[in-house]
Chains A and B, each alone.
Chain A
Amino acid sequence: GAVVSQHPSWVICKSGTSVKIECRSLDFQATTMFWYRQFPKQSLMLMATSNEGSKATYEQGVEKDKFLINHASLTLSTLTVTSAHPEDSSFYICSAEQGWGNQPQHFGDGTRLSIL
């Protein structure tokens, strides 16, 4: 149980394109979803936290107009990288949590985004 599906797993696109990444909890309802970015050989960096039906909370330094997050239902959150540029190339990972506090986070397999 507790499977999180992230799609697509790999995206290559031209500079200026907007890219949408989906994160779905397949067998549980996710109270909270998290979006991370990971640079090569570094640990995960939290970008934003989203709760169903409310606006996402962005970490300091993360441009909310660049990285649009929508958490429309208890099983789906999307991250849209708007007008992507080569510096946005990275590995993006989502996670989902059921309930509050002492629950574990369950992670998707990540999306490798390459902007040419």
Chain B
Amino acid sequence: KQEVTQIPAALSVPEGENLVLNCSFTDSAIYNLQWFRQDPGKGLTSLLLIQSSQREQTSGRLNASLDKSSGRSTLYIAASQPGDSATYLCAVKGTRDSNYQLIWGAGTKLIIKP
């Protein structure tokens, strides 16, 4: 059974720092991995989608990597800003599940201090 773990659960850093959020998964049989952002009381914003054949994806100050063989993904945020404060969720879609459902990590709550 696929399990997704996100470390750390919470992170607080000063503005301007570069930071890395981690996501690990136990079953490498995946279609893709997505990173999402969720602001308090709000829905989800998709940040990056990495297909299983890809190694990384970039969008602006965000870079996500995928190492399927080791079951790891990282989300790198460059030059962090207070507006980056949110909960970041990763989710994997496994190939063994006929419903194509996403398996979620518990999230990393990020606080960027001005």
Residues of A within 8 A of B (CB): 6, 32, 34, 42-44, 46, 49, 57, 91, 93, 95, 97, 100-102, 104-110, 112
Contact = CB atoms under 8 A, between A and B. Distances in A.
Contacts, number: 56
Nearest to B34: A104
B51 interface: yes
Interface in B65-97: 89, 93, 95
A92 B75 CA distance: 26
Interface residues on chain B, size class:
20 to 34
Nearest to A110: B43
23 contacts: A6-B43, A32-B100, A34-B101, A43-B105, A43-B107, A44-B44, A44-B89, A49-B100, A49-B101, A101-B31, A101-B95, A102-B31, A102-B32, A102-B51, A102-B52, A102-B93, A104-B34, A105-B46, A105-B102, A107-B44, A107-B45, A107-B46, A110-B42
B32 A44 contact: no
User: Per DSSP, are chain A's interface residues mostly helix, strand or loop, or mixed?
Assistant: strand
B106 A49 contact: no
A51 to B, nearest CB: 9
A108 B46 CA distance: 11
A99 to B, nearest CB: 10
A106 B43 contact: no
A97 B34 CA distance: 13
A10 to B, nearest CB: 10
Contact of A43 (B49, B89, B93): B89
B31 A108 contact: no
B59 interface: no
